Amino acid sequence: MSLERSNQMQPKESKIALLIDADNAPAAKIAAIVSEIAKYGIAIIRKAYGNWKSPTLKSWEECLQEYAICPVQQFDLTKGKNATDAAMIIDAMDLLYTQKLDAFAIVSSDSDFTPLVMRILTSGLKVYGFGEKKTPLPFVYACSTFLYLETIGQSMVSTEPSIPSAGIKKTGKELKQDTKLIDLLRGAVSSTSDDDGWSHLGPVGGHIANQTSFDPRNYGYAKLSGLFEAIDLFETQRRNKAVYVRSMQGNNNSAK
């Protein structure tokens, strides 16, 4: 099969713009947000808006580089007015007209973005909303999908698994002790599984790639299938030349 034909057979990956109202969103949930967005596609644009001179955004500063998020400075020009919202809305409209996007992900607990969401929807794009339970219902209902931050993930700044020394093969016991790695693998399998819990390894790898710069070789395994097979928390099956994986229910992440 030619490379061109192979590329044509690949499913189109949705391109998403992630816009974060850092003034109204907890940095501790960024890992869960990025993981959730990976179910829908890849966030090719990642921006966080706020007054970065404010000490209240210190927690956000610590995770901007890790998640490749571009900070957008917006000074509080007028007391009592949220200039961040206006900057996000202007940027979103620019992106809508200048970029070939499939969706927007807006992280905020502010209802000021409701008209923006409705405008984006009229252009045929989806809007994935994320906010705390205090988020006004008009914004919640306007989004294609809205998730309350209290219901997803755990409160941690980083979910990227620790990177072992290159070339050193980790044992199954050592891999299971890396809870961030196990959570990443389980989340990818769960998000791409069929009714019986089995997932084709290709989409599993794609889901992981949408979240972080993951490579099984960093753990001493040439292929992702070998990494799964080394961990007895997962079942693997080979069907013709394809590999399928399923999470074994009832086990935990810790080594026995």
- For 152, the 3-state DSSP assignment is coil
For CATH 3.40.50.1010, the residue range(s) in the chain are 10-151
β-strand partners of 71: 48
Burial of 164 (0-12, 13-18, 19+ CB in 10 A): middle
- For 226, the 3-state DSSP assignment is helix
Q: Determine contact, residues 55/179, Cβ cutoff 8 Å.
A: no
β-strand partners of 242: 239
Tokens of 256: 């026995």
For CATH 3.30.420.610, the residue range(s) in the chain are 172-247
Q: Model-level pTM?
A: 0.65
Q: Which CATH architecture has domain 10-151?
A: 3-Layer(aba) Sandwich (3.40)
> Looking at residue 82, what is its pLDDT?
66
- 24-74 pLDDT, tens digit each: 899 999 988 998 899 899 999 999 999 888 888 899 988 898 899 999 988
Confidence of residue 78 (pLDDT cuts 50, 70, 90): low
Mean pLDDT estimate for the chain: 83
The CATH H-level (homologous superfamily) assignment of domain 172-247 is LOTUS domain-like (3.30.420.610)
- How far is residue 94's CA from residue 105's CA, in Å, rounded to a whole number? 15
Confidence of residue 156 (pLDDT cuts 50, 70, 90): very low
Q: Determine contact, residues 1/50, Cβ cutoff 8 Å.
A: no
Confidence of residue 200 (pLDDT cuts 50, 70, 90): very high
